[in-house]
């Protein structure tokens, strides 16, 4: 795979303007602060290829479900992530020539996303008419210190001429989604106003009536002295602007700073969003650019202190893992209980909705191990708060007595995805939600959570499974018909091994919790029924060996491997019709192996190896969620070459655009999987009952691996190289861990060295 951009341990760097990479770059250089986020669109007018995108967390439009054929039980709507008011815009004209990188000659171009500091900068020198050259230095960040604040600054320096600059500093609320039908506008105009050096645009979403206001204050300086000029103000419903006309002199630097407050009523419908946005912008201007920047950097410093992974000896891997950690914390910080982690974060519109099983299966372990347990608890509470809607959802599909089916995609607990084979049948998501509760308790020992909240989620899920299984006279076992497993290249199959396995586990774990917590919430007849299912669950398996079959009939397929595919067939989802994909053997993402990964203890190393060797060659990894799981298993099986290759694929999936879709946005949720593949794979770290198991297997390329880990809210520092590792307990309590079957204690503030 060719790298798209330059390699740097802490930065994403692009040193050349290439329109063909612009859409990918807009995604990859995206910035956000957990509350809102912005693709790396240019501030100034740009006539090249672009996907404009500024997204506000939790704000969506319920697009009417459009399908050729309505089926009973379909959700009312499909939740679209909305492109919101453009807050970065500053159009520039020099001597009446509109600045547009796509039109002028680019003398130099340097774009940098500084991941340590969370800052996007772009320095461009353009040659205008008459060989006039101008240098522009853009700086932008979405403040992590005040998550309703965004800042844009541009320095303009005429290098070899003097002349006239016109800068149009604007807010534009009339923005469209690229995926809207018939250019439908999803926003209504509410109010706007424009004065000298300030103004706001307030809009509200159609149907959902979310209200947002974006307010700006701006400033113009020359060589750091504020200029006193009178802007022309312009206002037209969704659009406001200040137009500045300045005589600029050769080699002097003109600086425009735009302080933007963005407020929404997501958490409190009574919020006076207009006032709040105005206040934020005003206060920000008073505090000033440098102070705001330093506060922002400080927050990132704190995050990195806990969550950085240092890889010595491998710059690509290092850049990859930091990119993933950076994007995750840009997307979700655990501060707002209404938010969750959308698959594209703030980097694109695609998929819609905010919450997928990705959250529980991939992201929760990441936050559990890199942040205070409150963050993971917040994610669990999000599902607990939506239990009623999950019960309602199951009811629509014919289940009763409190059975709960969590939605495949949601913004607020309602299902908002509209493919029957996914919405109705990809029910394994219920399993991941139960597993996340288990995982959380293993890390934190927080049984109170289970007693007060989690058990109700578990019971709803267990009831669903008990009703979804049916007895097969033919097999004399409980079977589960008509499901879609994690491998979405199979639809409506019978007895998906993974789904049957995790369903049985859910029943079992729920019974364990009820017993352990001594709770009488289920009647004995139902417990008997669950027990009967647990004892007689059908799990398809190949005769005479240890291969678990992905589903009934899997062996009827033409037995090929990925090596049999021609280059022009890849990715198959862009080149093959859906029926061909479905009946082929090729696997989109870990399915049986996802189960073996979750329930590692339940299987022997031989079983793990046999299944890995059977399924990995058939897996095309066309889901971003796939290579990380395979990487972890490969590392556990000491297949370091494969593990490393898969790790690179997962960590640099978007950076190197493996799946040819980075233009549409990044794969945010799978980035947590990358982190897991380092920690659980190469570092071999697992947590069971708040204890730690370490069994490192580093790739040859890596000299040293350093990272922090939160266990039971204790912070551990771990450093690993090829024959030695160190655990340093930064927390308040004792942590016990094992390595190669020996147990070690690390007391608080103590260091343990182990050589092997």
Q: Which residues bind a copy of itself (CB under 8 A)?
A: 65-69, 71-73, 78, 181-182, 396-398, 417-421, 424-425, 470-475, 479, 481-482, 491-495, 552-553, 555-559, 573-580, 582-583
- Measure the CA–CA gap between 648 and 32, rounded to whole angstroms: 24
The DSSP 8-state label assigned to residue 19 in this structure reads G
Give whichever of 74 and 197 is closer to a copy of itself, judged by the CB atom: 74
Give whichever of 72 and 269 is closer to a copy of itself, judged by the CB atom: 72
**Residue 6 Cβ vs a copy of itself, minimum distance, rounded to whole Å:** 34
Give whichever of 6 and 179 is closer to a copy of itself, judged by the CB atom: 179
**Residue 611 Cβ vs a copy of itself, minimum distance, rounded to whole Å:** 18
- Measure the CA–CA gap between 248 and 268, rounded to whole angstroms: 46
The residue written with tokens 């541009």 in the block is: 154
Closest CA to 687 of 748, 607, 600: 600
The DSSP 8-state label assigned to residue 76 in this structure reads S
Q: Which helix (H) or strand (E) holds 234?
A: strand 232-236
**Residue 546 Cβ vs a copy of itself, minimum distance, rounded to whole Å:** 17
**Residue 28 Cβ vs a copy of itself, minimum distance, rounded to whole Å:** 24
Give whichever of 351 and 737 is closer to a copy of itself, judged by the CB atom: 351
> In this structure, what are the phi and psi dihedrals at residue 425, rounded to the nearest 5 degrees?
-115, -20
- Residue 306 and residue 43 in contact, taking contact as beta carbons nearer than 8 Å: no
- Measure the CA–CA gap between 525 and 289, rounded to whole angstroms: 66
- Residue 746 and residue 727 in contact, taking contact as beta carbons nearer than 8 Å: yes
Give whichever of 267 and 574 is closer to a copy of itself, judged by the CB atom: 574
Give whichever of 332 and 489 is closer to a copy of itself, judged by the CB atom: 489
- Measure the CA–CA gap between 498 and 364, rounded to whole angstroms: 20
Active site annotation includes 488:
yes
Give whichever of 66 and 310 is closer to a copy of itself, judged by the CB atom: 66
**Residue 641 Cβ vs a copy of itself, minimum distance, rounded to whole Å:** 30
The tally of CA atoms less than 13 A away on the side-chain side of residue 721 is 7
How many beta carbons lie within 10 A of that of residue 48, not counting itself? 15
Give whichever of 145 and 481 is closer to a copy of itself, judged by the CB atom: 481
**Residue 262 Cβ vs a copy of itself, minimum distance, rounded to whole Å:** 29
**Residue 62 Cβ vs a copy of itself, minimum distance, rounded to whole Å:** 13
- Residue 681 and residue 632 in contact, taking contact as beta carbons nearer than 8 Å: yes
Dump strand ranges (E) for 95-148: 97-98, 105-114, 119-127, 133-142
- Measure the CA–CA gap between 736 and 743, rounded to whole angstroms: 7
The DSSP 8-state label assigned to residue 679 in this structure reads I
Q: Distance from CA of residue 122 to its chain's centroid?
A: 25
**Residue 555 Cβ vs a copy of itself, minimum distance, rounded to whole Å:** 4
**Residue 485 Cβ vs a copy of itself, minimum distance, rounded to whole Å:** 13
Give whichever of 70 and 756 is closer to a copy of itself, judged by the CB atom: 70
Give whichever of 183 and 601 is closer to a copy of itself, judged by the CB atom: 183
Dump strand ranges (E) for 133-224: 133-142, 149-158, 163-172, 187-195, 198-205, 211-222
**Residue 416 Cβ vs a copy of itself, minimum distance, rounded to whole Å:** 10
Q: Which of 488, 490, 664, 680 is catalytic?
A: 488
Closest CA to 263 of 205, 334, 215, 198: 215
- Measure the CA–CA gap between 450 and 454, rounded to whole angstroms: 4
**Residue 528 Cβ vs a copy of itself, minimum distance, rounded to whole Å:** 19
- Residue 37 and residue 339 in contact, taking contact as beta carbons nearer than 8 Å: no
Q: For residue 638, what are the contacts with CB-CB under 8 A and spacing of at least 6?
A: 697
- Residue 590 and residue 629 in contact, taking contact as beta carbons nearer than 8 Å: yes
In the chain, what are the helix, strand and coil shares in percent, each to the nearest 5?
35, 25, 40
Cα separation values, 131 from 106, 162, 254, 641, Å: 12, 12, 20, 53
- Measure the CA–CA gap between 426 and 327, rounded to whole angstroms: 27
Give whichever of 89 and 540 is closer to a copy of itself, judged by the CB atom: 540
How many beta carbons lie within 10 A of that of residue 682, not counting itself? 25
Catalytic positions: 488
């Amino acid at each position: 795979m060719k790298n798209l951009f330059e390699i740097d341990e802490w930065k994403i760097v692009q040193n050349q303007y290439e329109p063909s990479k612009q859409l990918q770059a807009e995604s990859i250089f995206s910035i956000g602060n957990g509350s809102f986020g912005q693709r790396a669109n240019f501030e100034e007018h740009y006539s090249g290829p672009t996907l404009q995108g500024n997204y506000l967390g939790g704000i969506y439009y319920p697009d009417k479900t459009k399908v050729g054929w309505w089926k009973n039980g379909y959700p009312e709507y499909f939740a679209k992530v909305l492109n919101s008011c453009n807050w970065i815009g500053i159009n520039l004209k020099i001597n009446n020539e509109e600045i547009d990188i796509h039109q002028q000659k680019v003398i130099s171009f340097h774009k940098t996303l500084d991941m340590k500091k969370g800052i996007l900068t772009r320095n461009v020198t353009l040659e205008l008419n008459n060989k006039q050259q101008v240098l522009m230095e853009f700086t932008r960040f979405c403040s992590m210190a005040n998550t309703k604040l965004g800042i844009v600054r541009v320095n303009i320096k005429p290098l070899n001429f003097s002349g006239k600059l016109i800068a149009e500093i604007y807010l534009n609320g009339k923005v469209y989604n690229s995926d809207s039908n018939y250019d439908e506008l999803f926003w209504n105009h509410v109010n706007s106003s424009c004065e000298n050096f300030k103004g706001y645009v307030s809009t509200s979403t159609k149907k959902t009536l979310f209200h947002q206001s974006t307010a700006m204050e701006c400033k113009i300086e020359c060589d750091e002295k504020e200029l006193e000029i009178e802007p022309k103000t312009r206002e037209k419903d969704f659009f406001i602007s200040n137009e500045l006309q300045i005589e600029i002199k050769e080699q002097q630097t003109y600086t425009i700073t735009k302080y933007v407050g963005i407020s929404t009523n997501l958490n409190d419908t009574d919020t006076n969003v207009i006032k709040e946005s105005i206040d934020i912008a005003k206060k920000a201007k008073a505090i000033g650019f440098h102070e705001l920047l330093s506060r922002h950097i400080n927050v990132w410093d704190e995050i990195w202190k806990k969550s950085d992974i240092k890889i010595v000896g491998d710059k690509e891997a290092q850049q990859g893992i930091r990119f993933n950690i950076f994007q995750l914390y840009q997307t979700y910080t655990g501060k707002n209980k209404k938010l969750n982690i959308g698959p594209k974060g703030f980097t694109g519109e695609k998929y819609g909705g905010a919450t997928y099983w990705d959250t529980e299966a991939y992201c929760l372990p990441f936050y559990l191990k890199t942040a205070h347990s409150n963050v993971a608890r917040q994610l669990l509470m999000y599902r607990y708060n939506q239990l009623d809607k999950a019960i309602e959802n199951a009811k629509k599909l014919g289940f009763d007595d409190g059975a709960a089916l969590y939605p495949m995609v949601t913004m607020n607990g309602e299902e908002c995805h509209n493919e029957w084979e996914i919405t109705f049948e990809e029910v394994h998501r219920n399993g991941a939600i139960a597993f996340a509760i288990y995982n959380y308790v293993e890390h934190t020992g927080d049984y109170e959570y289970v007693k007060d909240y989690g058990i109700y989620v578990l019971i709803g899920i267990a009831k669903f499974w008990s009703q979804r299984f049916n007895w097969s006279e033919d097999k004399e076992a409980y079977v589960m018909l008509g499901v879609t497993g994690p491998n979405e290249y199979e639809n409506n199959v019978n007895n998906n091994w993974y789904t049957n396995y995790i369903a049985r586990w859910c029943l079992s774990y729920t019974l364990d919790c009820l017993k352990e917590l001594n709770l009488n919430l289920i009647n004995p007849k139902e417990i008997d029924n669950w027990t009967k299912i647990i004892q007689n669950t059908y799990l398809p398996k190949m005769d005479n060996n240890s291969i678990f079959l992905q589903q009934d009939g899997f062996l009827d397929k033409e037995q090929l491997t990925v090596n049999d595919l021609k280059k022009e067939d890849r990715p198959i989802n862009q080149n093959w019709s859906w029926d061909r994909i479905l009946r082929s053997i090729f696997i989109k993402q870990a399915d049986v192996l996802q189960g073996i990964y979750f329930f590692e203890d339940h299987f022997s190393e031989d079983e793990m190896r046999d299944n890995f060797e059977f399924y990995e060659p058939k897996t095309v990894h066309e889901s971003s969620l796939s290579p990380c799981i395979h990487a972890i298993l490969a590392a556990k099986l000491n297949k370091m070459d494969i593990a490393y290759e898969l790790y690179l694929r997962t960590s640099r999936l978007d950076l190197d655009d493996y799946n040819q879709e980075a233009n549409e946005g990044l794969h945010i949720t799978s980035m947590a999987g990358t982190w897991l593949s380092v920690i659980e794979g190469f570092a071999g770290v697992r947590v069971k009952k708040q204890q730690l198991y370490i069994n490192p297997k580093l790739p040859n390329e890596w000299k040293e691996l350093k990272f922090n880990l939160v266990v039971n809210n204790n912070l551990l520092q771990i450093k690993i190289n090829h024959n030695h590792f160190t655990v340093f307990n930064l927390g308040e309590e004792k942590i016990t861990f094992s390595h190669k079957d020996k147990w070690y204690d690390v007391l608080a503030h103590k260091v343990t060295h182990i050589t092997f």
